[in-house]
Amino acid sequence: MNKIVETFSNQWFSATFEWTDGFLVQIDLTAEQKAATAPRSAYGVELARIVEHYEQLGADMWPDLPLDRRTLTAFSLKVLETLRRNTPRGSWTTYGQLAALCGSPRGARAVGGVMARNPWPLLYPCHRVLAGNLGLGGFGPGIELKQTLLTLEKARLRG
């Protein structure tokens, strides 16, 4: 098994990309400032650039990464892909709205579960999913980082 771990940082967050046998297994996102590593994967230089200049991006600019999808259910994949397609940088949705887009209008809690287990935050921007009352809801790396990401992306949460 060939494992690669690389960490890229900016002043707001650090993102650690974990690869196994050429597939991206997960991204560990944290507000903690971790020391950046040299790019180690085939995508490392581009990922470092994206993370380092995250606040300057006008749109999501992620490369087409080989993702290890083996542990995800069909529903989880549908939710993540629907989120990615329908919630661009600078926008947001709610758990209920995302569930409805996925054909499960009563599935807000199930969507929340998918967001909680999302192995690739940033690529599948679960920080852009809000509670039904437009509160921030949850976010594994912390509510403060969720708010920071939304601010960096210039998302308008209220009127």
Catalytic residue (one of 29, 126, 129, 130) = 126
Put residue 92 in one of left, alpha, beta given phi > 0 → left and psi -120 to 50 → alpha: beta
Query: What's the Rg (C-alpha) of the chain?
Result: 15
Task: Quote the tokens at residue 155.
Answer: 């998302």
126 is catalytic: yes
Judged by DSSP in three states, 26 sits in strand
Q: Hey, what amino acid is at 11?
A: Q
CA distance 48 to 154: 21
Q: What's the CA angle centered on 70, arms 67 and 74, to 5 degrees? A: 100
Residue with tokens 């499960």: 104
Q: Which helix (H) or strand (E) holds 115?
A: helix 108-116
**Which residues have a catalytic role annotated?**
126
